[in-house]
Amino acid sequence: MIRNATPADVPVIHAMVRDLAEYEKALHEARATEAQLHEALFGERPAAFAFIAETPDGQVAGFALWFLNFSTWRGVHGIYLEDLYVRPELRGGGYGKALLTELARTCVERGYERLEWSVLNWNEPSITFYEALGARPQDEWTVYRLTDGALAALGS
C-alpha cells in the first residue's frame, strides 16, 4: 500500500500538490514545476523524499512529501512533513493513516525523535484526524515566513 516514490511518480505528485493547493485556497501560490519536484526528489543531492499510497489495484491514492529537520535540543534529526494528501474520493480508506504510520516507522527506525507538520486552523477534518492519532498542536509557537519581495529585500 505504501512505497517510495519513483521518478515516474513526479507528474502525479505534481498534480496532487496542485489539488492540495486548491483545497487550501492557495492554488495561485503553487508555482513548483514537475522539473523542480524531480530535482528535489531525485536530483544529484535530493532535498526531499516522498511516499506513495496505492490502492490494491495500483492506483495512486495519495502521497506524503517530507524532508529532514534537526533539533538542537534533542541533538538528532526529525522529519518535517511538507505535504500529506489523499485524493478526496479515497479519503477514509486508511491511506492517510498508512502514510503517517510509514513516516513514524521511519523516525523510529532511524532514531529520529520528531515528526512535525503544519495544518491550517480552519481544516477541522484534518485536525480531528491528526489528534485521533495522538498528535498535539504546538500552539505556543508561531510560524514566520519570508518570501518574495521581503525575502529579496533582506537578502540583498
The catalytic residue positions are 130
Helix 34-42 × helix 10-23 angle, to 10°:
120
CB 104 within 8 A of CB 134: no
Strand ranges, E, within 31-134: 49-54, 60-71, 76-86, 115-117
Rounded Cα–Cα distance for residues 127 and 148 (Å) = 29
Grid cell at residue 66: 517530507
